[in-house]
């Protein structure tokens, strides 16, 4: 889990700016780390696809024994979040007691401190908090609808985040 | 193709925390035992395949195959270290089998070794997490236990299985682990005790998680003719070796993927050995977390998808059941010395086929065995079949 500060400037973008990768051929969405080929059809060209930042918990675990960089946060909840656009991302869920997590809970992305690096530096990334807004109409394709509405709860710092990480150290 | 690779000798160290021994000490101990058992001199070893995952992190040393070659006295035999996450030891065995089956070598050694307890658990957890995409997916705070916990919940959701149902797997493993003098954890437990053991990564509890262990295991392999020429030795052969890769991400690892991780290489292995799942007497199935045992049972074709957990409850995967699964206590009790595990599974199955497994662990008249090792979020599947084939 150790990431150097230099490496983070290279790998940081998806942690500060929420997107998925969309297959140019079959349009399947994959998590942002699938940049080389589409997991569904194998096509090798994918394009970044902005996510609105909302979804629901489909699976979760509670981490009681964290790696060093997460020490002090335990026990913490990590969920599989099915984004409204149809891609699943693993991420911490904040503000829910470990014994009160429920599959189906609506959540929204927010930018938070993720962990302390081994050089004492602070890493930020997306986490999720419980979302009080109602779910988008189930059957309707949530994709466009969700994208139109500006995500109110996102912290100002990250909404128009550039593709390149803003967190580059001086 | 069919394949017969003779198992000339086996050796293993105790599996436990061994502060008084180094990685080198463990490798030498297991390697020497295997050579003594095989009745070969170090000079007869023509190639050394070492499975070792994390020495750079756990022990601050690299090139551990060369270290082992020197200290085992097999110089100038070639020596190389192989790494494929928790499938590492099985991969070393695969390379050893390929080396013999190719006809290039007469006698080789396979050595799996890992020394995990020089560091605190929290550091070890970080090192183990490097067997997944620790920079990206596991940046979310996931660890191997919690990643596998997600799989466990997926399994419970998909098949309507309860935590109590799954707890029987730990009960079975601990029943045999208590009888295994080489095991790290040697105590029996009940379903209630499993359920009440502390949470590690919900829904996984302590008794469903393997300990970090220091150990090494070794095998001396040879051409069939060499073993045939020594009819007084147990005639145990590796008759199939089959490797596969799978997904590198927990988030996209479906239950189908988990099934296929073993199903695909197992199908090839059964074909290679000319046997079927029904013929298997005894199996060592990777279970660093209890949920992986039912998944493995299904992937190997011993039960339908969603049914693999039942055998531990109804007895059919106990020692005298339809098939004995993990009569060693599995990784849950032996511990999981990453690079050694695949080799330990092999040694344990060979003991079964030789009829020399410890009391209370021996499957009666075991003739055909299988070992299934896996690693990463769902990234490596490794199958070996072993048979006792008298003249
Ligand atoms: Zn595609």
Question: CATH number for the domain including A71?
Answer: 2.40.50
Compute the distance from residue A76 Cα to the ligand 1 centre, in Å.
34
Are A65 and B135 inside 8 Å of each other by CB?
A: no
Q: Is residue A167 part of a domain?
A: no
Confidence at residue B136, expressed as pLDDT on a 0 to 100 scale: 83
Structure tokens at A66: 């964290």
Mutate to test the interface with A, among B124, B251, B252 (most CBs of A within 10 A): B251
Q: Which of A64, A68, A103 sits opposite B200 (nearest CB)?
A: A64
DSSP labels, B157-218: HHHT--HHHHHHHHHHHHHHHTT-TT-S------HHHHHHSPEEEETEEGGGBPPP-EEEEE
Q: What is the dihedral of CA B329, B92, B116, B129, to 10 degrees?
A: -100
Compute the distance from residue A104 Cα to the ligand 1 centre, in Å.
27
Strands laid side by side in the B236-247 sheet? B78-82, B47-51, B107-115, B214-223, B5-12, B236-247, B378-388, B368-375, B282-285, B324-325
**Would you name the residues of B annotated as active-site residues?**
86, 336
Confidence at residue A39, expressed as pLDDT on a 0 to 100 scale: 83
Report d(CA B178, CA B215) in Å as an integer.
Answer: 18
User: Which residues between 61 and 100 in chain A have a beta carbon less than 8 angstroms from any beta carbon of chain B?
Assistant: 61-71, 73, 75-76, 78, 80, 88-92, 98
Confidence at residue B42, expressed as pLDDT on a 0 to 100 scale: 98
pLDDT tens for A103-123 read: 999 999 999 988 887 777 888
Compute the distance from residue B252 Cα to the ligand 1 centre, in Å.
14
Inter-chain contacts counted by CB atoms under 8 A, chains A and B:
113
pLDDT in tens, chain B (391 residues): 689 999 999 999 999 999 999 999 999 999 999 999 999 999 999 999 999 999 999 999 999 999 999 999 999 999 999 999 999 999 999 999 999 999 999 999 999 999 999 998 888 888 888 888 888 888 888 989 999 999 999 999 999 999 999 999 999 999 999 999 999 999 999 999 999 999 999 999 999 999 999 999 999 999 999 999 999 999 999 999 999 999 999 888 899 999 999 999 999 999 999 999 999 999 999 999 999 999 999 999 999 999 999 999 999 999 999 999 999 999 999 999 999 999 999 999 999 999 999 999 999 999 999 999 999 999 999 999 999 999 7
Residues of chain A neighbouring B139 (CB-CB closer than 8 A)? 1, 3, 15, 114, 123, 125
The distance from CA B113 to its chain's CA centroid, rounded to whole angstroms, is: 12
Report d(CA A167, CA B30) in Å as an integer.
Answer: 50
Q: How far is CA A90 from CA A133, B83, B265, in A?
A: 21, 27, 29
Domains and CATH numbers, chain B: 5-120+212-228 (3.40.47.10)
Nearest 5°: the CA angle B308, B311, B314 is 140
Are B150 and A59 inside 8 Å of each other by CB?
A: yes
Confidence at residue A156, expressed as pLDDT on a 0 to 100 scale: 39
Q: Which of B134, B140, B203 sits opposite A90 (nearest CB)?
A: B140
CB atoms closer than 10 angstroms to residue B50: 33
Interface pTM (ipTM) of the complex?
0.90
Confidence at residue A138, expressed as pLDDT on a 0 to 100 scale: 60
Q: Give the residue from chain A lying closest to B151, CA to CA.
A: A59
pLDDT in tens, chain A (170 residues): 456 777 777 777 777 789 999 999 999 999 999 999 998 899 999 999 999 999 999 999 999 998 888 999 999 999 999 999 999 999 999 999 999 999 999 999 999 988 887 777 888 889 999 998 877 766 544 444 433 444 444 343 333 333 333 333 33
Its domain, for residue A104, covers: 53-133
| Minimum distance, in Å, between the CA of residue A81 and any CA atom of chain B | 9
A2 touches chain B (CB under 8 A): yes
Confidence at residue A142, expressed as pLDDT on a 0 to 100 scale: 44
pTM of the model: 0.91
- Tell me how many domains chain A contains: 1
Compute the distance from residue A45 Cα to the ligand 1 centre, in Å.
9
- Does residue A128 contact residue A91 with C-beta atoms inside 8 Å? yes
A33 touches chain B (CB under 8 A): yes
Buried b (16+ CB within 10 A) or exposed e, B308-328: bbbbbbeebbbbeebbbbbbb
Ligand 1 (ion): residues with CB under 5 Å are: A 23, 25-26, 28, 38, 40-41, 43
Compute the distance from residue A24 Cα to the ligand 1 centre, in Å.
7
Confidence at residue A2, expressed as pLDDT on a 0 to 100 scale: 59
Q: Which of A32, A63, A91 sits opposite B201 (nearest CB)?
A: A63
């Amino acid at each position: 889990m150790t990431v150097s500060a230099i490496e983070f400037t290279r790998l940081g973008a998806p942690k500060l700016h929420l997107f998925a990768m969309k297959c140019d051929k079959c349009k399947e969405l994959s998590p942002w780390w699938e940049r080389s080929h589409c997991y569904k059809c194998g096509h090798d060209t994918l394009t970044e696809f902005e996510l609105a930042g909302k979804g629901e918990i489909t699976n979760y675990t509670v981490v009681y024994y964290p790696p060093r960089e997460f020490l002090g946060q335990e026990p913490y909840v990590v969920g599989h979040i099915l984004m409204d656009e149809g891609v699943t991302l693993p991420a911490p869920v904040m503000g829910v007691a470990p014994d009160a997590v429920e599959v189906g809970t609506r959540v929204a992305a927010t930018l938070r401190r993720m962990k302390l690096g081994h050089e004492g530096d602070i890493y930020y990334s997306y986490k999720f908090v419980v979302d009080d807004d109602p779910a988008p109409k189930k059957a309707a394709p949530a994709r466009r609808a969700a994208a139109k509405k500006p995500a109110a709860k996102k912290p100002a710092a990250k909404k128009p985040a550039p593709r390149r990480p803003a967190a580059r150290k001086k | 193709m069919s394949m017969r690779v003779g198992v000339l000798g086996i050796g293993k160290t105790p599996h436990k925390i061994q502060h008084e021994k180094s990685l080198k000490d463990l490798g030498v101990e297991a390697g020497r035992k295997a050579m003594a058992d095989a009745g070969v001199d170090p000079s007869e070893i023509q190639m050394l395949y070492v499975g070792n995952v994390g020495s750079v992190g756990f022990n601050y040393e690299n090139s551990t195959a060369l270290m082992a070659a020197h200290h085992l006295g097999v110089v100038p035999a070639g020596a190389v270290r192989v790494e494929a996450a928790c499938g590492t030891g099985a991969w070393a065995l695969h390379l050893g089998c390929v080396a013999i089956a190719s006809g290039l070598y007469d006698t080789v050694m396979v050595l799996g070794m890992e020394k995990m307890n020089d560091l605190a658990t929290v550091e070890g957890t970080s090192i183990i997490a490097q067997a997944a995409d620790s920079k990206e997916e596991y940046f979310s705070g996931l660890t191997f236990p919690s990643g596998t916990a997600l799989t466990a919940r997926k399994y419970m959701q998909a098949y309507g299985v309860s935590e109590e149902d799954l707890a029987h797997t730990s009960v079975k493993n601990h029943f045999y682990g208590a009888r295994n003098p080489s095991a790290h954890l040697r105590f029996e437990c009940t379903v209630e005790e499993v359920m009440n053991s502390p949470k590690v990564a919900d829904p996984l509890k302590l008794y469903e998680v393997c300990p970090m262990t220091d150990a090494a295991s070794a095998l001396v392999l040879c051409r069939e003719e060499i073993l045939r020429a020594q009819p007084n030795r147990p005639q145990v052969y590796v008759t199939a070796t089959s490797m596969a890769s799978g997904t590198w991400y927990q988030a996209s690892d479906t239950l189908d993927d988990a099934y296929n991780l073993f199903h695909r290489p197992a199908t090839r292995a059964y074909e290679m050995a000319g046997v079927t799942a029904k013929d298997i007497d005894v199996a060592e199935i990777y279970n660093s977390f209890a949920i992986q045992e039912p998944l493995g049972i299904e992937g190997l074709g011993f039960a339908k998808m969603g049914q693999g957990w039942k055998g531990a409850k109804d007895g059919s995967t106990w020692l005298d059941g339809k098939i004995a699964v993990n009569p060693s206590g599995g990784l849950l009790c032996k511990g999981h010395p990453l690079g050694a595990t695949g080799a330990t599974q092999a040694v344990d199955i060979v003991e079964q086929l030789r009829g020399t497994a410890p009391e209370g662990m021996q499957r009666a008249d075991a003739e055909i065995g299988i070992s299934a090792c896996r690693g990463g979020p769902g990234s490596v599947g490794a199958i070996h079949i072993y048979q006792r084939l008298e003249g």
